Structure 1
Amino acid sequence: MGDCECIHEAAEQTLYTKERKTMMEQKAKLTMGTKIVYGLGDFASQLVWTFVGNYLTVYYTDVVGLAPAIASAIMLIARIWDGVNDPMFGAIAERTKSKWGRFRPYILVFSPILAIFNVLAFTAPFGNKTAGVIWAAFSYIGLGMLYTAVNLSYGSLANVMTADSQERVELNSWRMIGTNLGSCFLSAISMPLILKFSRAEAPTGMGYTLTTLVFAICSLPLFFLVFKCCKEVIQPRQDVNQIPIKTTIKVVVTNKPLLIIFFTLLAYMTGMFGRIGLAIYYFMYNMHRFDLISILMMAPTICGAVAIFLTRKLVNYVPKKTLGAISLTGCGISLLILYMIPASNATMVIIMSGVYGLFSFAVPLFMGSVPECIDYAELNTGVRSDGTSYAFTSLATKFGSAFGASVGLMIMSYFGYVANAEQTAEALKGINIAVNIFPAVTFFVALVIWMFYPIDAKKATEIREELEKKAE
């Protein structure tokens, strides 16, 4: 009997030691190396998804020859499917059990397939006929599903790598630094590479395809590095597999703070990605400056990376709601000024593009708030839904990227845009509205929504402390 008691006591001590170790890991500060590696994951994502956002629309209309309405429809259909696919994959991911955790395995397995579909999206084996439209839809929708598997898993890691809310904001700041540096890298070399591979003065289909191939190959070692170095230490208090998926989804869609983040991101990303996807038209047709495309696209991304790096610590001293409001207001006003600047004044366009970038530091604040929303729901419902919650916010990003490009194309079409032609004054006005006025309006909408976010630093700490008490 004494031996049994000793064994039982030893087992309890072992369990206690493991629990204490887990709690210490959750509270431990992440190393700078880990944060930088995490940021590289979004650099890799930019090589895939931002290149698509920057160039796929113009590739469809000006190279493949698809009508703007058809290109817009393909993007909207893909996003409607994402409305089903993303939450479904999030629920699957957070129920995954493996020696690598819940999310990391999907980065390892799907990133090579994502690279393949990235290249397929920039091929047009059937031209612009019916088969070509089907191919474009197949490759783009497939690319979106694979990007969900990789990027949703990558984004969810920030929620489970640490329990420290400030560290989570830091992770998302490094992520956005990776985003901006990746965008800057793409802006600097994409068009020169496209033209080099095209072996012509204007971009060709082969130029786009080979450039995409280079970027897809470069993304793989970065994704593998994230898989290797970014460990998961936060686990749900319950066995997620015992919770019905419909319960998880209900917890997510009734999470009021998360809904505010969703709609803030939706409005913000609609403007941001809409501008990214359509700015190339402004540079080509309004400014007629192929020689400045790299500089014009680099200006906001370089300034954005600098702004995020400089402001990543400010959340410790300034309320994030205030910082977010400053960012959104500055973005909106700078774009209104850009609309009024003559396209011929390249110097002022570059300067104000940089100013716009300097105010683009809000996304880490939004994304860094997602773990707080997850903690909030866990405290109130007992259900932790990292994957599904991140899928929900990821959906806002995807919807925003599609809505921005689609609405922008509709605006351009309404004003008379014709591919590969000299544009009328009305068409040029439409391009300017789509690139500057439309995103400015979405930023102001995001500002209004963001002001309703209810969780501040004090509230987030209280929630986390209550969860830790329940875990003891």
Structure 2
Amino acid sequence: MEKMIMKANSAESVNPSQSSEKLSLVTKISYGLGDVGGQMVWNLSSSYLVLFYTDSVGLAAAAVGTLMFVARITDAVFDPIWGAFTERRHTKYGRFRPWMIWGGPPLAIFTVLTFSTIPGTEGVKLAWAIVTYMIQGLLYSVVNLPYGALATVMTRDSGDRVALSSYRMVGTNFGSIILGAITMPIVLMLSGGGDVATTGGFTATAALFSIASLPLFALVFFTSKEVVQPVPEETRVSLLSTFKTVLGNKPLMLITAMLICTMTSQFGRLGVAMYYIIYSLGRVDLAGWIMPIPPLFTIIGIAAFTRFAKRLGKKKMVMISILSSSGSLLLLFFAGPSNLVVVILLSMLYGLGLFATPIVLAMVPDAIDYQEDRTGVRSDGTSYAMTSLAIKVASALGGAIGAWCLAAFGYSADAALSERTLTGINVAVNLMPAAILLLGLIPLAAYPITEAKYQAIRARLEAKMSPTGKSADDE
């Protein structure tokens, strides 16, 4: 393994001029597959952990909501610290690449432990859940934050950055499709073949998915190159100054706020979607068909609509995405679960509307370049950590709001469901996510970087890198 890693690293160039080279299709596909590996552990937790805790372990929904919130907020605080550490720690393999190899195995182990429990009272089981889930979240950051930061240092080309984000989101949604289709059938099969998912069934499924994630993380390591280099060590600013500069990056802060809104909506819905299928639709047998619908149509939406970001602008395309996806959820709420065909059609439209996530992620490198142009400081890891922090805060809020909503409407795994509880499930799955999505329009409206402004920023940065002091356009 050491020889393979050294061979992969020996091909890596550190010449900044290569940052303008186009990325190969193999590199883009491999990068996207890295998020398939991430989904093997993250989607499993996001989609099924609340259900696992309430229906298999027997924890109260309100306690699960608090657990999700505390664990993810702790994780969110960790992310900027980890981002600052990784961008300053140079290894012979790069700053971000090696964590694909180093962080994967511990993450796999704690994913399995998270989907397990120990004998004892509800308090003992809750304590086990808090510890294992919190550590799993921290380890996910150890892998995922450097993975995301890689996209900011693999190229300066704006088109390739959108492409990397698009391939990543295709990987995310492809992983969600596969997992949505196979997870519950596998859990039920490993639970004994009935209609009830057991703790052991979830644990075994987590082990299978965790093992499958490891070669995908390794693939990213072997096919990526870090060509956008940090400033020399002797001219680097202090950690405190880096944080101040990042927090003063207005576009980045607006992206962070926007991501909190949009991802809280998505995570909140994802965490309770199985309740809607099992109890509102009454069709647990169709879970493997219904769960993959939104991510499948998100892939179609990404393929169909992200290409217009260059023509219409990133900001306008994100606005279209938010309005279309939230509108679909509102129609789902008022239509109710009585007509399965309508539910499926509106779920398709909802998935199509989520096409803009790679566009939002492609705004992050633009904001990093904005910071470098304005201050001379480039903080890829710390800046990307802000988006990771946003996603973790969104995960905390989404998971907690969904579970708290179920508790507020009287959900209990041991009690028959009333009409009020079924209404609460509909609120948690459709109405609440639609309202939170619409809040994302507020920071989006204030986002200042247009396509023309970014081209000017890029030209100035290229001029600084050029030996002649001129950009390629000037020459």
Query: Please, which of 294, 299, 305 is the counterpart of residue 305 of structure 1?
Result: 299
Structural mapping, 1:100-119, within 5 Å: 100-119=93-112
Q: Does residue 344 of structure 1 match 2:344?
A: no
Q: Deviations over 1:348-384 (max 9, x none)?
A: 1111101100111111111000011111111112211
Alpha carbons 2:76, 2:392 under 8 Å: kept: no
- The corresponding residue for 2:186 is 193
Q: Post-superposition shift, 1:469?
A: 1.9
Of residues 20-29 and 224-233 in structure 1, the stretch that sits farther from structure 2 once superposed is: 20-29
Tell me, what secondary structure is at the counterpart of 2:391?
Answer: helix
Alpha carbons 1:64, 1:128 under 8 Å: kept: no
- The corresponding residue for 1:50 is 43
- The corresponding residue for 1:430 is 424
Q: Does residue 60 of structure 1 match 2:56?
A: no
- The corresponding residue for 1:184 is 177
- The corresponding residue for 1:373 is 367
Q: Deviations over 1:138-186 (max 9, x none)?
A: 1111001100010001000100000011110110000000011000000
Alpha carbons 2:177, 2:291 under 8 Å: kept: yes
The alignment's TM-score, normalised by the length of structure 1, stands at 0.94
Change (3 A) 1:361 1:459: same
- Gapped runs of 5+ residues in structure 1? 1-19
Structural mapping, 1:135-174, within 5 Å: 135-174=128-167
Q: Post-superposition shift, 1:127?
A: 4.7
Of all paired residues, the percent bearing the same amino acid is 44
Distance 2:281 2:344 in 1: 12
Distance 2:312 2:26 in 1: 26
Name the amino acid aligned to 2:41: V
Distance 2:73 2:351 in 1: 30
Query: Please, which of 285, 289, 295 is the counterpart of residue 295 of structure 1?
Result: 289
- Gapped runs of 5+ residues in structure 2? 1-12, 467-475
- The corresponding residue for 1:73 is 66
Q: Post-superposition shift, 1:311?
A: 2.2
Change (3 A) 1:131 1:21: closer
Query: Please, which of 273, 282, 295 is the counterpart of residue 276 of structure 2?
Result: 282
Change (3 A) 1:386 1:196: same
Name the amino acid aligned to 1:268: T
What is the RMSD computed on CA atoms of the aligned residues?
1.4
Tell me, what secondary structure is at the counterpart of 1:317?
Answer: helix
Distance 2:414 2:95 in 1: 48
Of residues 123-132 and 88-97 in structure 1, the stretch that sits farther from structure 2 once superposed is: 123-132
Alpha carbons 2:73, 2:392 under 8 Å: kept: no
Of residues 246-255 and 270-279 in structure 1, the stretch that sits farther from structure 2 once superposed is: 246-255
Of residues 374-383 and 436-445 in structure 1, the stretch that sits farther from structure 2 once superposed is: 374-383
- The corresponding residue for 2:6 is none
Alpha carbons 2:76, 2:388 under 8 Å: kept: no
Structural mapping, 1:114-129, within 5 Å: 114-129=107-122
Alpha carbons 2:47, 2:271 under 8 Å: kept: yes
Tell me, what secondary structure is at the counterpart of 1:312?
Answer: helix
Alpha carbons 2:325, 2:350 under 8 Å: kept: yes
Alpha carbons 2:14, 2:226 under 8 Å: kept: no
Q: Post-superposition shift, 1:428?
A: 0.6
- The corresponding residue for 2:312 is 318
Change (3 A) 1:346 1:420: farther
Structure 1's consecutive aligned runs of 4 or more residues displaced over 4 angstroms after TM superposition are none
Of residues 267-276 and 63-72 in structure 1, the stretch that sits farther from structure 2 once superposed is: 63-72
For these two proteins, the number of residue pairs brought into alignment is: 453
Distance 2:435 2:448 in 1: 24
Name the amino acid aligned to 2:239: I
- The corresponding residue for 1:22 is 15
Query: Please, which of 173, 192, 202 is the counterpart of residue 196 of structure 2?
Result: 202
- The corresponding residue for 1:412 is 406
- The corresponding residue for 1:455 is 449
- The corresponding residue for 2:87 is 94
Change (3 A) 1:293 1:128: farther
Q: Post-superposition shift, 1:21?
A: 8.2
Of residues 379-388 and 85-94 in structure 1, the stretch that sits farther from structure 2 once superposed is: 379-388
Change (3 A) 1:420 1:299: farther
Distance 2:411 2:124 in 1: 25
Distance 2:73 2:232 in 1: 32
Q: Deviations over 1:22-54 (max 9, x none)?
A: 244100111111101010011111111011000
Q: Deviations over 1:7-28 (max 9, x none)?
A: xxxxxxxxxxxxx982441001
Distance 2:195 2:337 in 1: 22
Of residues 185-194 and 316-325 in structure 1, the stretch that sits farther from structure 2 once superposed is: 316-325
- The corresponding residue for 1:82 is 75
Alpha carbons 1:107, 1:223 under 8 Å: kept: yes
- The corresponding residue for 1:333 is 327
Distance 1:322 1:358 in 2: 16
Alpha carbons 1:237, 1:471 under 8 Å: kept: no
Change (3 A) 1:240 1:74: farther
Change (3 A) 1:396 1:127: farther
Q: Post-superposition shift, 1:128?
A: 4.8
Name the amino acid aligned to 1:377: Q
Alpha carbons 2:61, 2:412 under 8 Å: kept: no
Distance 1:21 1:342 in 2: 56
Change (3 A) 1:21 1:387: closer
Q: Post-superposition shift, 1:331?
A: 0.6
Query: Please, which of 374, 389, 392 is the counterpart of residue 395 of structure 1?
Result: 389
Change (3 A) 1:111 1:21: closer
Query: Please, which of 223, 238, 244 is the counterpart of residue 229 of structure 1?
Result: 223
Distance 1:240 1:73 in 2: 45
Of residues 246-255 and 120-129 in structure 1, the stretch that sits farther from structure 2 once superposed is: 120-129
Change (3 A) 1:364 1:294: same
Alpha carbons 1:274, 1:401 under 8 Å: kept: yes
